[in-house]
Amino acid sequence: MKYFGTDGFRGEANVFLTVEHAYKIGRYLGWYYNREHKAKIVLGKDTRRSSYMLEYALVSGLTASGADVYLLHVTTTPSIAYVTRTEDFDCGIMISASHNPYYDNGIKIIDSNGHKLSSDLEEKIEAYIDNKTSELPLAVQKKIGTATDYSIGRNRYVGYLISTATRSFKNMRIGLDCANGSASSIAKSVFDALGAKTYVVAIEPDGTNINQDCGSTHIENLRSLVKEQHLDLGFAFDGDADRCIAIDEFGNEINGDHILYICGKYLKEKSKLNDNTIVATIMSNLGLFKALEKESINYVKTTVGDKYVNEEMVKHSYSLGGEQSGHIIFSKHSTTGDGILTSLMVMEAVIEKKTTLGNLAKEMTMYPQKVKNIVVEDKKAVITNEVVIKLEKMITKELGDEGRILLRESGTEPVIRIMVEAKTEHLCDKFIKQMTNVIKNQKLLIDN
């Protein structure tokens, strides 16, 4: 599609994603859900400077089409999903570019069941944005929509998070990195309510510092906090708090693959892992799959994107799935990745097992994994090139059970991602170099 990717409509604010786009998205969604009854749509945003203009543009479009809008203001993406599915809203909209820098922004649309919007409806919105459909009628007189403060919805979500915890966090010393984003006004209050002693960084958003050297993609500050304060563990969220990366007591990073293993094993012990299966993506580390096999836990691989993980989970009623980046879905509690919920589930495993996060994570050995992005003329031409395929098979055979190579097309850029896992970083570098050279010699790079 032209605008919508696996995680909504995302790009640089007022360059790729403009207020005109937001207005037209609002117009279409307001009209679409308002056809048979008075539409109710919940709207939230993260802390980016551009979120305000996009919020007002969406509200203008939605109300002009007759929909009533309920504003959660600064909140998390999973809170929008929670409120939408539990309080009879037609859809939810979150303004956020997740882990991207502040100058980017995005519009994520969630259906009434709390799932990402269907591709069919996204295509219809795109057609309207590009003026490929007839103009939509404007609401008039009493049919014009209203906008209402609905911060109570965010408060209900916070209460729900607290209710999911089965153990007190008393005597636990926990670090939190809120990425100067949506978690800034939520995460600490949740952990405080559960009895933890919390130490927090990156909770002073100014509109331009979201994800800046902080959060789940920059865990150095949280690592320093955990080590300097001798904390039990720490959690880092991204801008809209749908991701979670942890730090153990030694300062080691515990990524989404570790979390899938730790929580999957714990759920299996509690007989709560539906069909004894975890959903991961093709980019999850080989170490995760080997560790799951050792525990006799089944796994399913999807293409990259929590949207696809969730679709697989819904299709087969699986209870746990996620990505290495920290998008983790616990279907009992949520329909989307939820960073704060994930941290609570990790805490439950740590407390119930009466051990440390480091001890739980050390059971899984991560393989060195390297990824190189190369800009190409034609992504399909690379993937289907006979010489490239031949080399890929040769490398796969040489790596055997102790590694793998994967070529993946970017969904939004003219880029092929070459991922190699092996016993050593040297082998990763060797095979990435070999594949890059072959693609170059086949004159498939964009600079050729």
**Number of C-alpha atoms within 13 angstroms, CB side, residue 132?**
7
Q: Give Rg (Cα) of the chain.
A: 22
Identify which of 315, 88, 371 has the alpha carbon closest to the alpha carbon of residue 300: 315
> Could you give the C-alpha distances from 75 to 146, 181, 185, 242, 355, in angstroms and in order?
20, 9, 8, 11, 33
What pLDDT does residue 411 have?
67
* CA 25 to mean position of chain CA atoms: 22
User: How far apart are alpha carbons 349 and 268 in whole angstroms?
Assistant: 12
Residue with tokens 């590009």: 130
Question: Would you give per-residue pLDDT tens digits along the chain (448 residues)?
Answer: 899 988 899 999 999 999 999 999 999 999 999 999 999 999 999 999 999 999 999 999 999 999 999 999 999 999 999 999 999 999 999 999 999 999 999 999 999 999 999 999 999 999 999 999 999 999 999 999 999 999 999 999 999 999 999 999 999 999 999 999 999 999 999 999 999 999 999 999 999 999 999 999 999 999 999 999 999 999 999 999 999 999 999 999 999 999 999 999 999 999 999 999 999 999 999 999 999 999 999 999 999 888 899 999 999 999 999 999 999 999 999 999 999 999 999 999 999 999 999 999 999 999 999 999 999 989 999 999 999 999 999 999 999 999 999 998 876 678 999 999 999 999 999 999 999 999 999 998 876 4
The CATH class that applies to domain 369-441 reads alpha beta
Sign of torsion, CA 213 215 217 218? positive
- Intra-chain end-to-end CA distance of the chain, in Å: 27
CB 287 within 8 A of CB 365: yes
User: How far apart are alpha carbons 340 and 237 in whole angstroms?
Assistant: 8
Degrees to nearest 5, angle at CA 350 with 318 and 356: 135
Binding site for Mg(2+), by residue number, is 98, 238, 240, 242
Residue with tokens 């502040």: 102
Domain ranges of the chain: 4-154, 165-361, 369-441
Binding site, by residue number, is 98, 238, 240, 242
Those residues whose C-beta lies under 8 Å from the C-beta of residue 445, and which sit 6 or more positions away, are 374, 375, 376, 377, 439
> Could you give the C-alpha distances from 32 to 55, 137, 339, 420, in angstroms and in order?
19, 11, 31, 45
What pLDDT does residue 36 have?
93
**Catalytic option among 98, 216, 334, 343:** 98
CB 108 within 8 A of CB 77: yes
What pLDDT does residue 448 have?
47
User: How far apart are alpha carbons 232 and 247 in whole angstroms?
Assistant: 9
Domains 4-154 and 165-361 share a fold: yes
Residue with tokens 């009628």: 137
The angle, 0 to 180 degrees and rounded to 10, between the axes of the packed helices 151-164 and 77-86 is: 100
CB 44 within 8 A of CB 50: no
User: How far apart are alpha carbons 219 and 151 in whole angstroms?
Assistant: 30
CB 152 within 8 A of CB 181: no
- 253, burial (CB in 10 Å: exposed 0-12, middle 13-18, buried 19+): middle
Model pTM score: 0.93
What pLDDT does residue 414 have?
85
CB 169 within 8 A of CB 351: yes
What pLDDT does residue 412 have?
64
CB 432 within 8 A of CB 366: no
Determine whether 51 is an active site residue. no
CB 340 within 8 A of CB 187: yes
User: What superfamily in CATH does domain 4-154 come from?
Assistant: Alpha-D-Glucose-1,6-Bisphosphate, subunit A, domain 3 (3.40.120.10)
Those residues whose C-beta lies under 8 Å from the C-beta of residue 400, and which sit 6 or more positions away, are none
User: What superfamily in CATH does domain 165-361 come from?
Assistant: Alpha-D-Glucose-1,6-Bisphosphate, subunit A, domain 3 (3.40.120.10)
Helices and strands of the chain, counted as H and E runs: 15, 19
